[in-house]
Amino acid sequence: MITRKFQVKMNEEYDTLGFAPSWIPESDPCSGLAVPHDILEHMPNEKYGAVEGEFMALGVMYWLRGESGWFHQRNVYRSNPLIETMSSDIPDIITRVVYGHQTFKILRNTKKLDDYIEEDFKAIIVNGIRSLHVEDRLTPQELSSVKIKDIKISMLSWMRKGYRQALKRYKGHCKYDMTHLFTEVMEKSDKILKQAYEYQTLVVKIDLNKMSSRLYIEGEEYDY
């Protein structure tokens, strides 16, 4: 049984309520989508930093939602939903590293995965880097810096590591069942968020053996 708690907080940037994981200090409150992402696509008790954790989570995300077709089912108007969606957070992550707001560990020479996975991973990275150019977040000098090159190499390695972690953590589980569970937790979280108040605590319990979830506001008996 996995048990996690999220605080209902105000997202100052968007002026909306969201869920912030209680075990991640200074995390931004987000929508219900972030709840199963933080629980199922991030590894429990991650020993790596925030940036490495996000890069690894992309690898897990590819196994859980990418290979199951989840992105294509929910983003039918995008030309390449998997690549475009999975690369969307990369500019923010890279910008924080380049500006020194966060650090990361360089990781190289990890063993390659199947060819189709390698092609998708590289396309995700290229699309994320391209967005940095389009959005003018960094100067040409910053974009051509050694740090950017290290990030690109390491990102691929951390994504491979995340994918292999998913195979290990979810061994014996069908990725399509996992996708259904992910969606179930997301939808329950969004439903609760519509009725939640700031400073309340969301409790999430997930049973991987039974492929079931229970979500409720701490102190209340009603389950969603």
Query: What's the pLDDT score for residue 152?
Result: 83
pLDDT at 42 (0 to 100): 94
pLDDT category of residue 77 using cuts at 50, 70 and 90: low
- Calculate the alpha carbon distances from 76 to 49, 64, 66, 84 in Å: 34, 18, 14, 12
Q: Is the pLDDT of residue 70 over 60?
A: yes
pLDDT in tens, 166-211: 999 999 999 999 999 999 999 999 999 999 999 999 999 999 999 9
Beta-carbon contacts of 41 under 8 Å, excluding residues fewer than 6 positions away, are 57, 60, 61, 64, 65
H/E element holding 50? helix 50-61
Cα–Cα dist 198/6, whole Å = 11
In which band, very low, low, confident or very high, does the pLDDT at 47 lie, cut at 50, 70 and 90?
low
Largest CA distance in the chain: 56
- Average pLDDT for the chain: 88
Higher pLDDT pick, 25 / 22: 22
Q: Name which of 19-23, 53-57, 122-126, 140-144 the model is least confident about.
A: 140-144
What pLDDT digit, counting tens, does each position of 104-124 carry? 888 888 999 999 999 999 999
- Give the mean model confidence (pLDDT) for residues 85-97: 87
Given a cut of 60, whether residue 79 has pLDDT beyond it is yes
